[in-house]
A and B are shown apart, each in its own frame.
Chain A
Amino acid sequence: MERLLALWVEPLSEERPDGSTLRDYLRVLDVLGALCPFVEPIRLGLCTLPIRGPSRFFGGDEAVFAAVRQSVCDVLGLEVFLGVAEGLFCAELAARQEVVLSVGQTTAFRRSQPLAALGHKELATTGRRLGLYTVGDFADLKSASVAERFSATVRVLHRVARGELAELPGQRDTRLAARLRSARGEDVVGDEQVGFFGQRSAGDDRAQAAAHRVRHRLGPEGVLVARLRGGRVPEDRASLAPWGSPSREVRDDAPWPGRLVGPSPITSLHQPVALDLRDEHGEPVRMGARGSLSATPTSLVLLRGSRRGIVWFAGPWPLVERWWASGRRRAHLQVLLDSGEAMLLSAEGGRWWLVGIYD
C-alpha cells in the first residue's frame, strides 16, 4: 500500500450554508497542486497525496510538511492536521492524531486503534460485549466466524481491519469530483493531456499508450513531459512534470530582463549539486557583496572529493529577484574545465552549486 500524506482541515469538514466550504476546499487543492500533481480530494476537509515523490523533491518528509502547512496557512489562515500512513483508512486516522508512520509501522498502528475507528456503532457496541476493544482484536477473528455472525458491511470492515482493504466504504465522497468540477466552472475530460496536445492523431494515441505502460511500470513519476515557462536562467525556465498531470499552458513570451544569454546547458540539474571553488592557493572562492569574486577560481571540488582544474570562467552574473519580497540572491558563473567540459554554476546561500552541464 502506498504511503499517503493525509491533510485534515477540520473547519472545512462541515459544509456551511453559503457554499464557501467547497470554495475554500478548492483553494486548498489548488495550492497543494502546486506542490504535488497527485493531490486527491477525498471528501470535504480531507485530501491525500503520495508522500514519496514530494519527499524526495523537497528533501524529506519534514520539508513537505512545512511546505504544506505554510501553503494552507497562506491561503486560508487555517491550521491543518497532517499524518502519514499506508492506505487511506490509516492515513486519515494518522492525520487526525497527527502521527507520521514510517514504512512498516502502519499495521501496528491500525491494530492499536479503538474498534470505533471503523465507524460502525453497532459493531463497536457488540465488540465491547465480546471483549473486542481494538481494531486488532477484531482483525484476529476468523473471517469465517465474522461471516457467520455479521452483515456484509461488517465483513468489509473486517477486511479493512486486517489490512486487506485500504479504505473504509464511504470514506470517500463519490460525488465530490463532479462538485469540484462544476465549482471550477469547467468540465475536465479525463486527466490525459487532451487540451495539451490539441488535435490528436493516431501517433499521439500510440505515444499515450506507451507512456501509460511505462508509468505503470515505473510509477507516477516515471514518465515526464517538458514545459517551458518564463524565467531568467535555464533552471527556472524548464519544468518537467509527470506525464498525465494537469497541465497549465504557460506562455513564454514575456521579456525577462537580465536573462542569461547564449546557449543553455543541455543537462539542467533538477537538484543542484553543492561544490567548492578554490583559488590557486587552495583557498575557497566566494561571491563578494558587490557581485564580484573574492579570487580567481582555478579548481572546482565536488563534495565527493574529486578535484578538477578550471581553465577559463565567465561571470559572475548576479541576479537579484523579488528583492522587495524574500530577496533571493543568486549569481551565475560559467566554467570550462581542463577536461573540456563546460558547466554552469550558481552561487546561492553562501555556496556554489552545479546547476548545468553543457554536454
Chain B
Amino acid sequence: MIRKNFTLVKFLFSFLFLFASTYATLAQDAAEGETLFKNNCAACHSSGDDVLVGPGLKGIGERRPIEWIVKWVHNPQAVIASGDKYANDLYNKFNKAAMTPYPNFTEGQIKSIVAYIDASNAAPAAPAAGAAPAGAAAPAAAASSGGMMEVLLVGLLVIMVFVLIALLSIVSTLSKLAGGEADAEAPLMKRIAENAKKLAANSAVKTGIIIFALLLGGKATIDAAYGVGIHQGYAPEQPIKFSHKLHAGQYQINCNYCHTGVYEGKGANVPSANICMNCHNAIKRESPEIQKIYQALEKDEPIQWVRVHNLPDLAYFNHSQHTNVGNLECKNCHGEIEKMEVVEQRSTLTMGWCIDCHRNTDVNAKGNAYYDKLVEVHNKDSKTPLKVQNIGGLECSKCHY
C-alpha cells in the first residue's frame, strides 16, 4: 500500500516537475526559435498568415501535429511521396515547389520554432500599429510647412492693412485737432488726393519717379535676359507621382539602383518598369499610382517620364566621367534629391557654373595611374594641386564640338 502510494507521489512529482520545467523553458524556446526562424525560415515564410513564397505559419502548431511538422521539415519530399493528403494538397497549391529540407534540425529546435511562431502571434502588434500613424503624420507635417509660409504672408498682409488704417485714423484725428472745424468736414480721401496732386506737380518728384521706374525696368529686363535658356527651378509634373523623398530619402535606396548608367555611361538612365517591379511586385500593389506601372507593363507601353535636366545639345556632358572618375556625388549638381517630393533642377547648368567648378575642383588622381605622369609634371612648376582646369577643363573643344 505504502509502496503504491509512493509511486503515485513520485509520478505526481515528476509530472509537476515536467510541467514547471516546460513552463520555464517556454520563453527561452521562443527566443531560440526566433533566431532559427529568422535565419532559416523567414526567407520564404511569414510568422503571420500572409503568403510569401510558402504559406504563412500562423497557428501551424494547431493545424498540424508536431510529429508531422518534424517529418516535413526533415524531408518534405519523403512526406509527399508517402501519399500524405495534406502534404500533397500543399505541394499542388504552391505549384509543385517543394520546401528546402532541413535534416539537421533536432525535434527540440523545430518545437522552439513553433513556440516562437505562437509567441509572435500572441504578442499584440502594438509597435507596428504605433509606427503607422507616426509615419503618416510626418509627410502631412512636411506638406503643411509649404502652406504655412503662405498663411504667414497673408497674415502679415492683413496686419499691414490694419496698421495702415490705424495710422490714417490717427492722421485724420491729428489734422482735425490742428485744422479746426472747417477742414475736418472735407473727407479724408479727398485731402489725400489733393496732396498727391500737389506732389505730382513737383518736377523733382517727377524726375525721381521716372528714374526709379527706369532702373526697375532695366533690372527686370537684364534678369529676364539672363534667364533665357536656363531651366533652373524646372519641376515638371510626372505621369506617376514618384517620390524621391520616399525612395532615396526614407528607404535610402542608392541612386545607382535605378539610374543604372550613372557610373557606366554618358546618361544616368531613367529606369524601365522592370526595375520598379523588383520591389513593387509585392509592395503597395493596390495603390493607384503603382497600378499605372502594371498597366504600362500589360500594354507593353513605355512610361513617359518627363526629363528634368535638359543640357543643351551644344554642350557635351558625360556622367561616368564625373561620378566614376571624378568621384563626385550626385547631389553636387542635382541638390538634395532625397528631400524632393517632385524633382526640380537645382543648378543653373550654365557654362559659368561648369567653369567655376572646373577652376576650383582638384583632380581625383589618387589611385588612378592615368594621372601619375600629369601630376608629376604639374608639381614641377606649381605648388597648387592639379585642378580640372590644368588638364583642359577650360578648353572649348572639351565640351563644344
Partners in one complex: no
Give me the interface of B with A, judged by CB distance under 8 Å: none
Give me the interface of A with B, judged by CB distance under 8 Å: none
